[in-house]
Amino acid sequence: MAELHDLTALEQGALIRTGEIDPVELTEHYLDRAERLPASYVDGAFALRDPDAARLRAREVAAIGPVGEGASPLAGVPTAIKDLNLTRGVPTSFGSPAFAGYVPEVSDAVTLAIEEAGMVSLGKTSTPEFGSPCYTEPEGRPPAVTPWDTTRMAGGSSGGAAAAVAAGLVPVAQGSDGGGSIRIPASCCGLVGLKPSRGRISGFPMYGDVTGLSTSGSIARTVADAAALLDVLAGRRAGDPYWAPEPSGTFLAAAGREPGRLRIAVFDTPAIAAAPVDPEVTRAFEETCGLLVSLGHAVEGVPVPIPPEAVSTFEIAWAVLTALSTVPLAAEQRALIRPLTRWLGEWGESISGPQFGLAIGQLRRYAAEALVALAPYDAVLTPTLATTPLPVGALRDDADPRADFEAQKRFTPWTSAWNVTGMPAISLPLHMSADGLPIGMMFAARPAEEELLISLAAQLEAALPWKDRRPPLW
């Protein structure tokens, strides 16, 4: 007999609407599950768990009674919020000992949207310091690991969120993505990771990413769950600097539509680093191309749409973003940050205002050239990562932060391209390696065409289902 955590987030929401379960019962199930799984795994997934607050919230949602017309299908469903997101009255450390004990006085747009949808947060999911690395090994805490092999990383920076969803600690979770931080952990953990278009989700109230690289998005076990969470998160606020056009309907509805015959560009040449690609990843990529053809799509090989020179420009933007987190720190806080953060922050501080302005302008031009080159295509396929999930610690190098940074690029040689262009992108758990590790395939679409991307992803899920594929820890 299926347990509650075996059900999708949407199936759980449907049971709440029919009264077969209530949010309190569902919340207790997940709180109990966290007590039964290995503590090191749970502590690697969560930066903070607050059972009492979760129970209180579940009782508040249950007191509202049956959800009405227009309510989110995820009302009453448990989730968790990334430790980078502001949560009023709830400790938020941004993955860093430098912010231990910090409690925000306001919530950001993502937190407010989750609350307004009637979802129940069980706590804060783990992230690396300031969300910078593509692995989640925060100082003083267990690493976030994949439940497919707990000696291997969950990826980052939304590694805690992915670890939580993949082990059935929450059914669906929000993440954020400035260079692949939703899609990387989705691939490592065998999940769907959806990064929406630039401007789809508000950055209120901080608007801290002046580069436009980062956005929040969905991590889920199914495409429909990811789409439903995007419906919760999407929307603009009056002060937003840019926003995506409104969709034609709900993103969840798009998961139920056929995409039609599409023209799909494909390439597996690494885009941002001269990285060796695991033969199993290449095999999975080729099999995905074959699957697309079998579904009636036209598949065409294309050159990498972003030139190698774009990498150094992206790095300037990334270093300045890190500096924006480190510059305000007091001396005693700076003493607590890890070597990679310090190195990136000092690099960012050394970049002059004119240098940064020129880099942003050049990055926009690289993005424009890529968008023009890819405009004839409905979607683009690449692998998500160059290898299967690596062992914990394989990328981290505190003695040589530059080597750490370069190793991260080799592990993730495609993901940041779609942050530069602002295109929506999704990682799908279409394949498994011979030794039982997930291999994600990544699709991108034209800006603001999440609906088409979701329809294609749902078609692929129906053709090669993965929902009932369970990791050993399940």
Inter-axis angle of helices 23-36 and 51-64, nearest 10: 160
Q: Give strand pairing partners of 264.
A: 299, 379
What Rg, from alpha-carbon coordinates, does the chain have?
20
Under DSSP, the state recorded for 473 is T
Three-class SS of residue 264? strand
Single out the residue of 82, 72, 54 nearest to residue 113, CA to CA. 72
Three-class SS of residue 375? coil
The active-site residue, picked from 72, 93, 107, 157, is: 157
Query: CB of 384 within 8 A of CB of 248?
Result: no
Told to judge if 409 belongs to the known catalytic residues of this protein, a careful annotator would answer no
For 205, what's the count of Cα atoms within 13 Å in the CB-facing half-sphere?
A: 9
Q: Cα separation of 262 and 254, whole Å?
A: 15
The 10 Å Cβ neighbour count of residue 1 is 3
Told to judge if 157 belongs to the known catalytic residues of this protein, a careful annotator would answer yes
C-alpha distances out from residue 267 to 299, 332, 424, Å: 10, 47, 17
Q: Give strand pairing partners of 197.
A: none
Query: CB of 136 within 8 A of CB of 156?
Result: yes
Report DSSP letters for 385-439, one per residue.
-SSSPPBTTSS--TT-HHHHHHHHHHH-TTTTHHHHHT--EEEEEEEE-TTS-EE
The active-site residue, picked from 181, 216, 218, 455, is: 181
Alpha helix segments (H runs only) across 39-171: 39-45, 51-64, 109-116, 159-166
Query: CB of 133 within 8 A of CB of 184?
Result: no
Contacts of 15 (CB under 8 A, 6+ apart): 7, 21
Single out the residue of 255, 267, 289 nearest to residue 457, CA to CA. 255
Residue with tokens 């806080």: 333
Alpha carbon 32 to its chain centroid, in Å, reads: 26
Told to judge if 124 belongs to the known catalytic residues of this protein, a careful annotator would answer no
Write the Ramachandran bin of 70: left for phi over 0, alpha for psi from -120 to 50, otherwise beta.
left
Report DSSP letters for 266-310, one per residue.
E--S-SSS-----HHHHHHHHHHHHHHHHTT-EEEE---SS-THH
The active-site residue, picked from 72, 82, 433, 455, is: 82
Single out the residue of 143, 179, 178 nearest to residue 162, CA to CA. 143
- The residues that are catalytic are 82, 157, 181
